[in-house]
């Protein structure tokens, strides 16, 4: 499964259309050079650190993007490494979570078209799944949830942006 928007040519070409969005993307790429890509922290074998190679302090400390997906970063006990771990999660949520739908993350109500074709307006982006998933057809999807009905579903980012243009 490809979680990385930078590796998706479709994403890049769409951003080329708008200068402002392209600047945002460049900023993300520069940031990523400093911060390694998040990884699944389920099967941790050692006290490795994503931010230094000379581990002297005990660890590990888990910096999760989401407890549900267990994606995130691992740091040793060095204060600087722990700070960078927390920063990596903050940066991810601020710029990369939900991919091109990132700007919708703090909205308390977003529009989602139901299977019936009816437009619903009391949905939110699901906090437990901030990563973009790419399905077998190369479609980028994010998870949305309707808290009042306790339901969630995966929708294409293209559709979500169409439904929430304003």
Cα–Cα distance between 106 and 33 in angstroms, integer? 27
Is residue 133 within 8 A of residue 141, CB to CB? The reply is: yes
Sequence-separated (6 or more) residues with CB below 8 Å from residue 115: none
- Which range in 15-23, 45-53, 133-141, 146-154 contacts Zn ion by CB under 5 A? 45-53
- Is position 88 an interface residue for Zn ion (rule: CB under 5 A)? no
Among 25, 41, 65, 81, binds Zn ion (CB under 5 A): 81
Stretch that binds Zn ion, among 27-35, 72-80, 114-122, 131-139 (CB under 5 A): 72-80
- Residue with smaller CB distance to Zn ion, 49 or 97: 49
Neighbours of 114 (CB within 10 A): 12
Distances (CA, A) of 32 to 57, 96, 101, 120, 137: 25, 10, 19, 36, 26
101 binds Zn ion (CB under 5 A): no
Q: Does 49 bind Zn ion (CB under 5 A)?
A: yes
Interface ranges with Zn ion (CB under 5 A) = 49, 51-52, 76, 78, 81
């Amino acid at each position: 499964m490809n979680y990385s928007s930078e590796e998706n040519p479709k994403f890049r070409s769409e951003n080329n259309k708008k200068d402002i969005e392209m600047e945002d993307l460049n900023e993300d790429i520069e940031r990523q050079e400093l911060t390694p890509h998040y990884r699944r922290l389920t099967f941790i074998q050692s006290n490795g650190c994503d931010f230094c190679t000379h581990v002297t302090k005990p660890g590990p400390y888990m910096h999760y993007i989401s407890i549900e997906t267990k994606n995130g970063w691992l740091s040793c006990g060095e204060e600087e490494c722990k700070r960078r771990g927390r920063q990596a999660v903050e940066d991810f949520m601020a710029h990369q979570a939900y991919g091109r739908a990132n700007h919708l993350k703090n909205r308390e109500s977003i529009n989602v078209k139901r299977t019936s074709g009816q437009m619903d307006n009391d949905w939110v982006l699901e906090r437990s799944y901030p990563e973009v998933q790419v399905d077998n057809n190369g479609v980028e999807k994010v998870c949305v949830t309707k808290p009042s009905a306790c339901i969630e579903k995966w929708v294409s980012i293209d559709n979500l942006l169409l439904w929430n243009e304003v």
